[in-house]
Amino acid sequence: MASLRARLGPSGRKVWQVRIKKRGYPELARTFDLKGEAEAWAKQVETEMDRGIFVSRTEAEGTTLAEALNRYRTEIVPQKKNAERESRQVNGLIPMLGPLAPRFLASIRGKDIMSFMKIRQAGGAGPNTVRLDLALLSHLFNVARTAWGMESLTNPVDLVKGQRPKLPQDRDRRLVGDEQARLLAATATYGGEIGTIITWAIETAMRRGEIAAMKWEHVDRETRTLLIPDTKNGTPRSIPLSPAALAVLDGIINSATLSSTEDTKNNDLRGPVWSMRPHSISQAFRRVCKAAGIMGARLHDMRHEATSRLFEKQGFNAMEVSSITGHKSMQMLKRYTHLRAKDLAKRMK
């Protein structure tokens, strides 16, 4: 049964404390400013207990959003594939929460998420950044509800699905005119590995992280294939290597200082193909584009370029291209494919 008593709160004002004791359930206590709110809460809890559907809200009502995100970073993020990146996202999100950070999870509603979205957009965050923030918050609430024992929680992010910011149209940036020649000429001046990496990206349609993680032992020169054991979607794949791609590897071997000439003969190479890491690859690409006077291009656009060329110049069908690029759906493959009508016209008879 519920017991209700008035007492003085920290501010000296009268508050109402409710205690509920019922066999088979933990003792509950909560304080309200108004007597009517206290009675309504007690009635709701007792009704749920009588019906056997009561779920304790104590933890959800005592855990702030900031505290939950810190726990998420400690317990959940290390289990993810891109743990380092997601940890940075959590660290960057907490200061952006503003008045939401000290709010208890159970008190956050859809309107609060809407307000957060508007504040983020007003602060200059792009649509995709906001959507990533919402995806993180949504997963946090789902984890809290399913794995942390806060079954009473509802996911407020689900309530604003139709109000999320619209993403811009898919990028369709491709190399035009002499841009590829200018880009590679600039890499010769820049030096290092970025020139071979750009050529490799155009020839293979590989992602930046996949390129950086390449190892010699995954190259099969006899079958002209490369195994990519660790991919973004978690499914390993093997891709065919063009003569130009093989020439890139030959150039690396010929220019490398090997400990044994016998290793070269046997192609007995081990370890990373490139020393550059993903961030340094992107940084070098931006600098090379600037030196070449090429505007609006990103390293990831080379994947778009390569995917489109597989259709236009190689004549592969959609299933063949998806097996090379690793796209799991035709919809995603379409986003990465931007065909030129003049190239398609050359194939028409």
Which listed residue (103, 171, 218, 300) is catalytic?
A: 300
Q: In whole angstroms, what is the distance from residue 192 CA to residue 172 CA?
A: 28
The answer to whether the beta carbons of residues 25 and 49 sit under 8 Å apart is yes
Q: Which residues of 245-254 are buried (b: 16+ CB within 10 A; e: fewer)?
A: beebbeebee
Tokens of 90: 């959590």
Q: What angle, 0 to 180 degrees and rounded to 10, lies between the N-to-C axes of helices 179-190 and 194-204?
A: 150
Give the H/E segment covering residue 18.
Answer: strand 14-20
Active-site residue 207, yes or no? Answer: yes
Q: Is residue 245 classed as helix, strand or coil in its secondary structure? A: helix
Nearest to 107 by CA among 69, 141, 149, 70: 141
The length of the chain in residues reads 349
Structure tokens at 315: 């004549």
The string of DSSP letters for 104-118 reads BGGG--HHHHHHHHH
By C-alpha distance, which of 284, 196, 209, 290 is closest to 245? Answer: 196
Query: Whose structure tokens read 């317990």?
Result: 75
Catalytic residue (choose from 21, 232, 286, 290): 232
The answer to whether residue 232 is catalytic is: yes
Token output for 113: 């998420």
| Distant-in-sequence, close-in-space partners of 99: CB < 8 Å, separation ≥ 6 | none
- Angular region, 296: left φ>0, alpha ψ -120 to 50, beta rest: left
- Identified catalytic residue from 73, 120, 208, 327: 327
Instruction: Out of 73, 207, 208, 304, pick the active-site residue.
Output: 207
Name residue, tokens 């380092």.
84
Specify whether 303 is catalytic. Answer: yes
Q: Looking at 73, 120, 303, 309, which residue is catalytic?
A: 303
What one-character DSSP code corresponds to residue 64?
B
The strands making up 2-8's β-sheet, listed across from edge to edge, are 2-8, 14-20, 28-32
Catalytic (active-site) positions: 207, 232, 300, 303, 327, 336
